[in-house]
Amino acid sequence: MKHVVKPFACCAIAVVTLAGLNACKKEPPIQSNDKKFSTSLFKKNLQEALASARGYQFVITQNGQVADTAVYGIQDIGGTKSSLQSFINIASVTKTLTAATAVQYMLQKDVTIETKIGKWLPASWPIHPDIRDLTFKQLMTHTSGIRGSQTDWSPLMTTVGSPVTAPKTFEYSNINFALFRAMLPKLNDSVKFRQQELALSPGDFQQWMSQEYIRLVNVHVLSKAGIPTRGCAPVEGKMTQMMSEAPYRLIGSDFGNWTEKCGGGGWVLTTMEMSRIIVYLTHTNNILSPEERQLMDDNRLGWVARFPVTGGIAYGHDGALYVDRNKEEGLNWGDVGSQTLIIRLPAKVELAMGINSLGADWRKVYDIVALAYNKSWK
């Protein structure tokens, strides 16, 4: 009770003192020039920036509570209205979930982020010395020298068996995080992992690792945020689609099943569930302990973006997927896609967002959020 009573007692003393001064000097009340953050203005600014989308959903939270939401347009070419309860492939936002799971093993076992990964890969895989000597930190910060975006089991095994020829400087690669699909099950229980590796066929063992990775993320992240069991497969009848934007004619594409290639992308959640994850990561110790959260923040493990905004520093991770539908190189008009985002901002504000259409180029989501946030102080 002392922590509750003392602040109020101090405030009461301050009020009395100021009242006495005003009575003696007859001066006007002191006015604060501090600006306050407006969630309603933030919402308006974001909506203006997303006006060209076929559909979007976002959730603004402040002080750990939902402050405002926005839903616009359609979620599929059938014209189904967008909803905060519609599911979307969160793409690379998956990396934050994977990192938050992995971090919980970094301070509990005989392993740190500087530990070499070789011991934690399947023993039955041919492992090149260059890969064996990489650290967990290098994977989670995209400084491993690994290149590539294909995350099925076959390209993962090819990568693990090949030399690292690129510089060990930052270069974004989905493979870095997809490798945790093979390592998290071993970090969790190395004895059971080896038993499964010896008992199962290579294909069945891969399926077991995929399912075990999904189970562990559910246990260590989703369930701790009060989210039901989820995975990397579409939720029948409740999925958004990747779509094209006007003036191109409306076309769409489904995300497909990512169960055997998730880790760097592929988790299927609602926007409200993404919001719960960023809120629970930020405002509670349910998912991470203070030490684990500090480790994740200080080393940008699972945060691809860290940049200054009004009042402090923003931490976030975005995701983006597209399908080439117009047969022209690169993303342009006539292709279909989606973008997702979770971001932690100063003023105890968080944002979770899903956008399910693309035009001629990717939206610069961090620029959009930073500008909208900076213009929301009054």
247, 360: one domain: yes
- Cβ count within 10 A of residue 240: 30
Assigned token pair, 131: 């890969």
> How would you list the strands of the sheet with 242-244, edge to edge?
252-253, 242-244, 357-358
Question: Do 217 and 301 form a contact (C-beta atoms < 8 A)?
Answer: no
Supply the pLDDT for residue 17: 27
Supply the pLDDT for residue 108: 74
15, 61: one domain: no
Using N-to-C axis directions, what is the helix angle for 94-106 and 180-188, rounded to 10°? 30
* Nearest Cα residue to 252 out of 88, 35, 12: 88
**Pairing outcome for strands 252-253 and 357-358:** unpaired
Q: Measuring CA to CA, how many Å separate 8 from each of 15, 16, 88, 353?
A: 11, 12, 45, 38
Encode pLDDT of 197-236 as tens digits. 999 999 999 999 999 999 999 999 999 999 999 999 999 9
Task: Report the alpha-carbon angle 172-174-178, nearest 5.
Answer: 140
Supply the pLDDT for residue 14: 29
* Nearest Cα residue to 274 out of 74, 60, 127: 60
Which helix (H) or strand (E) element contains residue 339?
strand 336-345
pTM, rounded to two decimals: 0.90
13, 123: one domain: no
137, 67: one domain: yes
Supply the pLDDT for residue 107: 85
Supply the pLDDT for residue 12: 27
5, 115: one domain: no
Supply the pLDDT for residue 21: 29
228, 363: one domain: yes
Q: DSSP letters of 44-78?
A: HHHHHHTTT-SEEEEEEEETTEEEEEEEEEBSSTT
Q: How many domains does the chain have?
A: 2
134, 215: one domain: yes
Domain of 10, in residue numbers:
1-31
Supply the pLDDT for residue 18: 28
Question: Do 83 and 271 form a contact (C-beta atoms < 8 A)?
Answer: no
CATH code where residue 159 lies = 3.40.710.10
340, 356: one domain: yes
10, 57: one domain: no
322, 224: one domain: yes
**Residues in the chain, pLDDT under 70:** 1-33, 109
144, 185: one domain: yes
Taking the alpha carbons at both ends of the chain, their separation in whole angstroms is: 35
25, 153: one domain: no
- Longest alpha-carbon distance in the chain: 87
Which helix (H) or strand (E) element contains residue 25?
helix 2-25
